[in-house]
Structure 1
Amino acid sequence: MASTGLKMQKSTKRKDSESSEKFNALKSKKPKLASSTPDKKSHTIQNQKPEQPKFGKPKSFGDKDKSVTLSKKERRVQAKELTEARKKRRKPHYTLEQELASLWEKMRRRDIGKEDRSKLISEAIQKMKGKIPEIAVSHLSSRVLQTCVKYCSQAEKEAVFKELQPHFLNLATNTYAVHLLKKMLDGASKQQLTDYISSLRRHVAPLLRHMVGSIVVEYAYNLGTAAQKQELLGELYSPELQLFKGLTSATEKRVVDIIAKRGLQKGTVVRHMTGIIQPILEKGIVDHSIIHKLLIEYLTIADKTSAAFVIQQLTGPLLLRMVHTRDGSRLAMLCIKHGSAKERKKIIKAMKDHVAKMASDQFGSMVLACIFSIVDDTKLVTKMIVRELEATLKDLVMEKNGRRPLLQLLHPNYSRYFSHDDLASLDLSVPSLCLMDKSETSSETKDSDGKESGEELKDEQEDTVTENTDIEEKVTVAASKKDPLLRRQELLVNSGLAERLIDVCMENAEEFLKSNVGKEVMYEVAMGGADGILCPSMSEKLRELYEAIASVAAMPKTQEPEKKSEHILEDFHSSRTIRRLVLDCPAFASILYKKALSGNCRLWAQGHCSKIISAFLETEDLQVREMAKEELQVLVNEGALKIPETKKSE
């Protein structure tokens, strides 16, 4: 037992001595710096990511055994060659496309001569011969073909047309080929245009539902004659007109006339048109005039449910894309007239930041005029439309179209400022919805016999869009409840538009009066608008306007022939406008005479200004006539001032 104990003590002592020696040896070693490289043979620490393998330069292509590396330039060259080889395998006409691109860079230059360009075009067409349909759908080569069609001879254009003719329908739906077709239609002969429109037969409706195909149909529709337009539209009206050629003519422009003459069933026509219109509206393809015409014709025969559904679908931003055409603006007016208060609000809000552009458009300006005539929510109209018009009042007054909304507020539906077609557009209504409105109003009052008072009116109502030729007789539609005069008062006076308009007229009095366009707005503002809407509250501002005009008229007459601008009393347009104001506005006539003409009538008794002087003797206002009679009668007796014979007899 004792011996074993001694052995255990010796072993423990030996272990302690060995551990202490190891500790001292480690202590004597210097610690390694953090920047020193780790030992390659040491084990990796846990959770430490192993180093990424490093690859050397790739071996040369096609050489698997040799380990020869290539330079960067050599690798780029070989990659380019590989790409070219792949393109040649993928594109059958790749080499031809490269040759055509090279020719295109030469032929499209502006400094090239006609003969040199003709040679290049002939060479390009010769290379493309037999492959034109495939080239037409190429992103690059289709541009070459467009340039060739633009500058080539008529014989070469005919050859290209014949090669493409069997493929027109496929090309019409291609993103790149559509531009080529438009270019060909621009320079097409009458026969070529006829052949192209004939190729669209029985495919007009499917193409109109296609985003690209609809562009080609619209282009052909705008270039076609009246008969060709009716041929394209006829396919959208009825299956019979689609199957049998020659059933439509230029004399039958409306779908109701075609139904009556051809004996078609109205229900079948409505169902056919509904099936075409619904997908078009769902896809939002509403920018084309042929679609606008289709929708207008559809509303003439649709029942009240279908018509209300179409108006509801058009309400909002879609409608804003349609106001640039005649039929599109009429659709917008119908939506405003028959839409609910919520739908009108949606339409007006969609016009935000687009009002100035609409006002300068021929048809868009009539939509704004319609809003001023119908919408009762004057606060919304003031906020969304009037405020934008105020920012560009001077430009609007000097524009032929931009002045229309202003004139509609100053003098509504005046035939001097609005054409017969414009007034007819404002009076349009949808028959089914118009009848519905009339039935709602007539149902409240019945005769003693139990018959509705509006029953006879319903029987006489035509199944067409109502378009009155007489301005006085308007269609009664439950479109607005507010008094028209009160609506004008709120939009023109209460909104501050009238005050701003008078200020602009004072600042630009001479320019507006000398303008053939601006003089009409100037006259209406100076007259205080129809029914004297500006006179009660703006009498002081109007007097300031009269003073501003008289100040310009009081400027001395220039004898310098070099001066281009004529005096306001001698200018053709301004002299006639001032004459009208003298005859119609006694307050203006008194200020003008006292400030500008008194004692100087002899100087202005010749030329255009003599018409202004004689107006003081022709006016019906006794006070104005007596004020100027003493000075002017002397000129009349001397023969210096001539009065028209009709006025002399009076």
Structure 2
Amino acid sequence: MADDSINLSIPSLQLTTLDTPEQLSPKKKRKAKKPSASSIDTLRSGPDGDSVIVKQKFPPLPSGNTPKSPSKSKAKSTPLKKGKKKVVVEQENPDSDLEQMDVSWEKAVETARGLPEGATSSDDEMKAGSDQEADGEKPKKKKLKVLKAAAKQFKKLTGEGAANGVGKKRKMEDETEEKGKDSTKKVKLVELKTKERKKLRKKSNESYEITERAKELWEDLRRFELTPEKRQEMSKELYGIIKGKASRLIYAHDTSRVIQCLLKYGTQTYKDALFEELKDEIPKLMISKYAKYFVRRLLKYGTKVQRNFVFSQMKGNICRFIKHAQAGEIVEYAFNEFANVSERTAMIEEFFGPCYQLYKTPELTTLKEIIANNADKQEVILRNMKETLSVLVDKNVLQHSIVHYVFMEYFTHATPEARSEMIEILRESAIHMLHTREGARVAMLCLWHGSAKDRKVMVRSFKTFVKRICLEEYGHMVLLAAFDSIDDTKVMQKVILDEIVKDLPDIITDQFGRKVVLYLLCPRNPLHFHPDVMKVINQGDENTQSKKDVAIRRRELLDAVSKPLVQYVAEHCREIVTDNASLLTLLAIITHTKADPTTAMQAISKIASEPFTAGSLENMHIVEHTAGHLTLKKLILNDAERMKAGEKVIFSCILLDILPEGALKSWAACNRGCFILIHLIELNHPDVSPRVKEELKPVKASLKKMKLKGAQILLKKLS
């Protein structure tokens, strides 16, 4: 063979040599020269499509088969197909030891570089072969033998008894790895699944076994079907487990529920024991996310002595607790559900200043009484309240009713200047106070005494919440105050009225939402509003911020909702005329609306024109219906007022125009129908009364035979 390097190729295997380091520059090492087409044909890619560039020293060739070759051999590198990397072996010293390669295919080729079986050792033949390569000829037969030898050597390397000891070394390494796998090693938490990791962490806790057993008992103890004897037995076992450990278990999310359950279902002995164990930690429990519920259960299921002890632990800390997200809930719960008058007064007094946190005045129940007895302290008390309340203007804190009480006391006794400053602080957050009576009163005071900017900001904060405000027992009164005081009716229409119109079906059918609609139609009408409500609303008349004339403001608001209200009646006529609660609203819409009510009157008349059979219970007619006949009666009586006002649209005329022939005769067959006919005759309208009398002449004989009260009166009217 020639002095040049041997080029071996097997399927998915490639071996080439590069020039020596002395012949190649660093640039050439990174980018090899482009080979000839003849050498590309003999190349194959690596077994995995990818290989690594390895520079390895070769072992000495076996004796007897060693060809004559120089100490340094060189060959041009051959590029591979796109996406494949090449293996380049550089030989510097043939006497160097064998170094193990990472890829097994390269190991086979390295071992096969010695002459395989069947290859000639003649220098002439090797020289002839190299000459043929130089001339561009391919020694195909010899290369095929070399490939077969390389494949055979590869099998030996991967099996037992491999030549050169490479296979043996590899086998020893494999055995070492297997032993390492069998050996015990500590399992890391990162290697575990999430559930297994969580369970392992729980087991590392010293209270794991106690916790698991306590939760098993808790699952059974809270069942409703458990007998009292069994519940008492399980409570005893559960208390035996957590006894002395409650102060440690009460702060966890699961064991806290176990203790709460025992406090609920356990006997008084266990309740007292738990209280004695945890009573010194009540302030700490109140600020805990889970332990706070123990204090809540203690207030609900504890004795009066235990409840008073909880109040004593809150004493002096109300202002601090109310600002805390967890403790504030317990203070609010205690204030609303369990505090008596003296306890509520004492809790509110703590907002008056530091001295009132320590020294209470049981004989004085309100700030008004305190100021009356100590007029010189008014300024100090109001200053302390302002400092405290300014910090409480937060969404979560403003939801507490105790804060609403304090704000109400401050607004009642503050000077106009101090009140204006507090309104400016509170105006964007007042939306969170409308669910209580005191909170709604505070919001109304802000609207009455705030500047035009304060009112505008406050109304805009109501956006998207108008429906909820309308349905609030106290919150709807804030909207009534806004209708009476805000001069900017354009803003009111965009923010308030448009949302009312959008949700009109839900608002007008609610008992509080209906008040909002009625106040737009007929404000302060004693027929719809209680005197106590009007007494509160009238307080806003003294405000100095409203400049627009009251009549103009009311007319502009009514114009914005008149047409939608009439359309609503026309679309939901059947539900309205058969609902007792909606009767007055319907009359108010038809009476006070600024839009044409003809469509609504026609819709009602069409329902009245349906065939009528006296005494039918399946489809009760509007004439005989409890609410329906009152609707017709009120609308006919309302026509008299419309006639006096000069209105051209009269319900009675529209009704008679739509009713089919003979409908009035059928109405005379029932008592309620007779009274409707009586009101039509008594209307004394030139187009109504004569027409009714004319149609009822044929039924006079029948009316004489009827004993109904309405029939007798109708007969007299016809005579």
**Normalised-by-shorter TM-score class:** 0.7 to 0.9
* Farther-moved stretch of structure 1 (115-124 vs 378-387): 115-124
- Following TM superposition, by how much is the alpha carbon of 1:505 offset from its aligned partner in structure 2, in angstroms? 0.5
1:549 counterpart (601, 604, 607): 604
- Rounded to whole Å, the distance in 2 between the matches of 1:269 and 1:644 is 74
Structure 2, unpaired ranges of 5+: 1-21, 25-68, 93-101, 103-172, 641-649
Query: What pairs up with 1:361-372 in 2 under 5 angstroms?
Result: 361-372=472-483
Query: AA paired with 1:600?
Result: L
Larger mean CA deviation between 405-414 and 173-182 belongs to 173-182
Deviation at 1:216, TM superposition (A): 1.0
User: Aligned residue for 2:139?
Assistant: none
Structure 2 residue aligned with 1:517: 581
Deviations 1:324-373 (A, max 9, x none): 11111222222222222222222222222222222222222222232222
1:274: Cα distance to partner? Answer: 2.4
1:301-336 residue CA offsets vs partner (Å, 9 max, x unmatched): 1122221111111111x2111111111122222222
Long gaps (5+) in structure 1:
1-17, 43-50, 60-64, 430-474
SS of 2:592's equivalent in the other structure is coil
Matched, 1:225 2:327: no
The answer to whether the 8 Å contact 2:452/2:545 transfers is no
* Structure 2 residue aligned with 1:328: 439
Which of 257, 261, 266 pairs up with 1:143? Answer: 257
Asked whether the equivalents of residues 510 and 568 of structure 1 are also in contact (C-alpha less than 8 Å), the reply is no
Give the aligned partner of residue 628 of structure 2. 574
Contact 2:486/2:546, CA 8 A, preserved across alignment: yes
Q: Do 2:609 and 2:663's aligned partners in 1 also have CA atoms closer than 8 Å?
A: no
- TM-score scaled to structure 1, two decimals? 0.72
Greater shift in the superposed pair: 303-312 or 607-616: 607-616
1:420 and 1:148 mapped to 2: Cα distance?
Answer: 50
- Is the Cα–Cα contact under 8 Å of residues 579 and 612 in structure 1 kept in the other structure? yes
Give 2:553's aligned amino acid: R
Task: Name 2:391's counterpart in structure 1.
Answer: 279
How far off is 1:410 after superposition?
A: 0.5
**Which residue type is aligned with residue 636 of structure 2?**
V
AA of the residue aligned to 1:584? N
Check if 1:132 corresponds to 2:195.
Answer: no
Are the aligned partners of 2:614 and 2:669 in contact in 1 as well (CA < 8 Å)? no
User: Among residues 73, 87, 96, which one is paired with 2:205 in the alignment?
Assistant: 87
Quick check: which has more Rg, 1 or 2?
2
Distance in 2 between the 1:105 and 1:193 partners?
Answer: 28
For residues 518 and 380 of structure 1, what CA distance do their matches in structure 2 show?
A: 29
291-300 or 594-603: which moved more? Answer: 594-603
Q: Which has the higher contact order (CA 8 A, sep 6+)?
A: 1
| Secondary structure in structure 1 of the residue aligned to 2:441 | helix
> Are 1:359 and 2:406 counterparts?
no
**1:177-576 superposed matches below 5 A:** 177-223=291-337, 224-237=339-352, 241-245=356-360, 247-248=362-363, 252=365, 254-260=366-372, 265-281=377-393, 285-316=397-428, 318-428=429-539, 475-493=541-559, 495=560, 497-529=561-593, 534=594, 538-539=595-596, 542-558=597-613, 563=618, 566-576=620-630
Give the C-alpha shift of residue 487 in structure 1: 2.5
**One-letter identity of the residue aligned with 2:265:** Y
3-state DSSP class of the match of 2:545?
coil
Provide the C-alpha distance between the structure 2 equivalents of 1:139 and 1:25, rounded to a whole number of angstroms: 77
In the alignment, residue 245 of structure 2 is paired with which amino acid?
K
How far, CA to CA, are the matches of 1:41 and 1:210 in structure 2? 78
Greater mean alpha carbon deviation, residues 224-233 or residues 203-212: 224-233
Are the counterparts in 2 of residues 605 and 640 from structure 1 also a CA contact under 8 Å? Answer: no
8 Å CA contact 2:449–2:545 kept in 1: the answer is: yes
Distance 1:80 1:394 in 2: 52
Report the Cα offset of residue 502 of structure 1: 0.9
Which letter does structure 2 place at the counterpart of 1:232?
M
Name the CA shift for 1:297/1:566 in 2 (closer, same or farther; >3 Å). Answer: farther
Q: Decide whether aligned partners of structure 1 residues 30 and 201 sit closer, same or farther in structure 2, where only a CA change above 3 A counts.
A: closer
> Given the two structures, how large is their TM-score scaled by the length of structure 2?
0.66
Cα distance in 2 between the residues matched to 1:19 and 1:232: 96
Pairwise CA RMSD: 4.2
Match of 2:679 in 1: 615
Q: CA contact under 8 A between 1:368 and 1:405: conserved in structure 2?
A: yes
Change in 2 beyond 3 A, CA 1:626/1:192: farther
Assess if the C-alpha contact under 8 Å between 2:393 and 2:425 holds in 1. yes
Give the conservation status (yes or no) of the 8 Å contact 1:372–1:405. Answer: no
Aligned match of 1:452: none
Identity of aligned residues (%): 26
Contact 2:202 2:208 in 1 (8 A): no
Between 501-510 and 236-245, report the one with greater CA deviation.
236-245
- Structure 1 position 290, deviation (Å): 0.9
Q: Amino acid of the residue matched to residue 35 of structure 1?
A: K
Structure 1 282/69 Cα, relative in aligned 2: closer, same or farther at 3 Å? same
Equivalenced residues, count: 545
- Kindly tell me: are residues 26 and 124 of structure 1, through their superposed partners in 2, closer, same or farther at Cα, counting changes over 3 Å? same
8 Å contact 1:572–1:608 — kept in the other structure? no
2:652 pairs with 1:585: no
Inter-CA distance 256–612: structure 2 relative to 1 (3 Å threshold): farther
- 2:577 touches 2:583 (CA, 8 Å); kept in 1? yes
What SS does structure 2 have at the residue aligned with 1:572? coil
CA distance in 2, matches of 1:262, 1:84: 60
The Cα shift of 1:285 comes to 1.6
Amino acid at match of 2:620: E
In the alignment, the residues of structure 2 paired with residue 23 and residue 351 of structure 1 have an alpha-carbon distance, to the nearest angstrom, of: 96
Give the distance between the partners of 1:518 and 1:79, measured in 2 at CA. Answer: 63
Mapped partners of 2:591, 2:198: distance in 1? 78
